[in-house]
Copies of this chain bind each other. A is one copy, B any other.
Amino acid sequence: MATHYLTEEVQNKYHYTVGPYVSPVLRVRPGDTIVVETRDAFEGRITHEGIKPSQVLEYPYVNPQNGPVYVEGAEPGDCLAVRIDSIKPRGPQPRGTTCLVPYFGGLTATDLTAMLHDPLPEIVRKLEVTEEHVTWNTRLKFPYKPFIGTISTSPRIDSIGALTPGNHGGNMDLPDICPGATIYLPVRIEGALLYLGDCHATQGDGELCGVAIEHPTRTTITVDVRKQWTLSWPRLESDTFIMSIGSARPMEDAARIAYADLVKWLVADYGFDKWDAYLVLTQIGRARLGNMVDPNYTIGAGIAKTYLPE
A contact residues vs B (CB 8 Å cutoff): 16-17, 19, 21, 60, 98, 100, 105-109, 111-118, 120-121, 123, 125, 134, 136, 139-140, 142, 155-161, 167, 202-213, 232, 246, 248-253, 255-257, 259-261, 263, 274-275, 278-287, 289, 292, 297, 299, 301, 307, 309
Contacts and interface: CB of A to CB of B under 8 A. Distances in A.
A208 B108 CA distance: 19
B139 A282 contact: no
A285 B202 CA distance: 11
A283 B204 CA distance: 4
A136 B280 CA distance: 8
Given A113-B253, A114-B253, A203-B283, 10 more contacts: A21-B21, A100-B279, A105-B278, A108-B117, A113-B113, A120-B275, A203-B282, A209-B279, A213-B283, A289-B299
Nearest to A119: B117
Contacts of A279: 98, 100, 123, 125, 209
Chain A interface SS verdict (over half): loop
Contact of A256 (B107, B125, B134, B213): B107
The count of identical subunits is 4
Contact of A282 (B109, B112, B207): B207
Nearest to A255: B292
A300 to B, nearest CB: 10
Contacts of A208: 259, 278, 281-282, 285
